[in-house]
Chains A and B, each alone.
Chain A
Amino acid sequence: MYSLEHQQYLKKIKRHNFLVRLTQLSIITLFIILWQVLADYRLINTFITSSPKHIIKTIINLHQTHNLYNHILITIYETIISFALGTMIGIVVATILWWNRFIAKVIDPYLTILNSLPKVALGPIIIIWVGAAMDSIIVMALLISVIITIIDIYHGFNSVNPIKLKLMQSFKATKRQIYFKLLLPSNFSNIISTLKINISMSLIGVIMGEFLVSKQGIGYLIMYGSQVFNLDLVMSGIIILCIIAAIMYYLVLYVEKRLTKY
């Protein structure tokens, strides 16, 4: 059993955390209530702002008549594919760059330019080259996530502890041994945090892609809603997107927790 002081200390922490949660919940609840009240009293124009009730109605309607889950699944599917491809290509390219200093030096300015280029500018080209279908959405999202992945992981490889590197060399380790026994394990947490950025990058790319070409997905719902001036649909799309983003983020967080146990 803990001492009285310690119990009080624990109580204090618990109280503090509870207050934070309570405030967080109050803000969102107040916001929703205020939104609804302003709408009910016609102080705001629901044609432009929509309202919580309308949004719920729209989502239920989507659920009953249209394929709500189809839209959600399409967006998630595209995100996961481009996330997986981006991560794999990113790690492979970063490995090649680490392996061969010459290639790394040659490619450096191209990477820098590609990284600072707003990838959405390439949208029209991608549509023409890849076609106005799901493929070009995945390519779009891939482009957005892969460059930053390459740069981050390559940077991690290069900032490995020089003394550990020297140790490996003093054992006459080959490049392959250095890669598998030192580089990969010591970069584990760096790679995981790159994945965290990557999953949201992929989602951004997918939504952008869906804005440009698609006939399905949450991005399409939002775009379609705005074109027919159905703000209820737009807002519903955004709310669903918020939920998807949050779930994906916490999923990666959970995987990270499970994997970093040593």
Chain B
Amino acid sequence: MTKILKIKDLRKIYHTKRDETLAVDNFSFTMSDGEFVAIVGPSGCGKSTILSILCGLEEKTDGEIKFRENTKIGYMLQQDSLFEWRTVLDNCLLGLEINHNLNEETKNYVLKLLNTYGLSNFSNSYPPNLSGGMRQRVALIRTLATNPDILLLDEPFSALDYQTRLAVSDDVFKIIKSEGKSVIMVTHDLAEAISMADRIIILSKRPATIKKIFNIELTDKSTPINNRKAKEFAHYYELIWKEIDYHV
């Protein structure tokens, strides 16, 4: 399989007037096309920082990041942050508008996505009229609209309650797989990571370095909700739990 991303010795230092903080250190890994990688670690360890750097929102201090040529990146944030003054369709078109890529063809692609994922009846509604799960789907379609090759998901379900979260992660997973995207997902939810990812990177507490990488191999791997029933699930949970420095 071709490699879509190579990271070598990534390092990030935050400067404030009083202090400097080493947030990420010695972070290297390679990712194949179509892979689903989850990054887990104790809260505040710098997981989100890594995504922000990959997306170009923050500068790295040191190290090398190499995407395969012409790789387009999509970023999905903790909250759906839909614009309440735009309709569902206009929200989905936001990225295309900004990149001056809005034309008949790209618009049709978005309409097709809305249609495929059960939102065509709502394309002229405003976000406050949508349920939490639907809003999350709209946010995903907004990210997919620019047709990215790799998706960066920053705790995408953390704002949802538990039941919705299960259903939505199942939903989002199916959409991502059927669109054939590579994914890096940051989460603090171990079960979510195991049920969705092919590989899990475990980070130490700050400064974030790679503590261990697990390949997740489940029998009858299918959708996240089903994966939770796999017999290896509890085993992985146990293994990963031991690796993470949770402090109460």
A contacts, CB < 8 Å to B: 161, 163-164, 166-173, 177, 181-182, 185-186, 188, 262
Contacts and interface: CB of A to CB of B under 8 A. Distances in A.
B97 interface: yes
Contacts of A164: 81, 83
B81 A181 contact: no
Contact of B81 (A163, A173, A177, A262): A163
B98 A161 contact: no
A164 to B, nearest CB: 5
B77 A181 contact: no
Contact of A171 (B83, B99, B126): B99
Contacts of B94: 171, 181
Q: For the complex, would chain A's binding face be called helix, strand, loop or mixed by DSSP majority?
A: helix
Nearest to A177: B98
Given A169-B57, A186-B85, A188-B85, A181 B79 contact: no
A262 B126 contact: yes
B55 interface: yes
A181 B79 CA distance: 18
Contacts of B95: 171
A99 B146 CA distance: 27
11 contacts: A166-B57, A167-B75, A167-B77, A169-B57, A170-B77, A172-B56, A173-B98, A181-B98, A186-B83, A188-B85, A262-B85
A262 B75 CA distance: 28
B89 to A, nearest CB: 14
B78 interface: yes
Contact of B99 (A161, A172, A181, A185): A172
B83 A185 contact: yes
Given A163-B77, A163-B81, A170 B57 contact: yes
Interface string B45-57: 0000000000111
A167 B145 CA distance: 14
A170 B51 CA distance: 11
Contacts of A186: 83, 85
Interface of B: 55-57, 75, 77-79, 81, 83-85, 94-95, 97-99, 126, 146
A171 B57 contact: no
Contacts of A185: 83, 85
A182 B6 CA distance: 34
Contacts of B84: 262
B124 to A, nearest CB: 12
A166 B98 contact: no
Contacts of A170: 55, 57, 75, 77
A168 B55 CA distance: 12
B98 A172 contact: yes
A171 B79 CA distance: 16
A253 to B, nearest CB: 21
A163 B78 contact: yes
Contacts of B146: 171
A170 B99 CA distance: 11
A39 B97 CA distance: 71
A112 B154 CA distance: 39
A170 B56 CA distance: 7
Given A163-B79, A262-B126, A168 B98 contact: yes
A219 to B, nearest CB: 40
A170 B146 CA distance: 12
A174 to B, nearest CB: 8
Contacts of B77: 163, 166-167, 170
Contacts of B126: 262
A123 to B, nearest CB: 42
Contacts of B56: 172
B150 to A, nearest CB: 13
A199 B57 CA distance: 41
A89 B166 CA distance: 51
A166 B75 CA distance: 10
A156 to B, nearest CB: 15
A186 B81 CA distance: 12
Nearest to A178: B98
Contacts of A169: 57
A161 B97 CA distance: 20
B140 to A, nearest CB: 13
B85 A161 contact: no
Contacts of B97: 181
B86 to A, nearest CB: 8
A181 B75 CA distance: 18
B186 to A, nearest CB: 14
A78 B97 CA distance: 42
Nearest to B85: A185
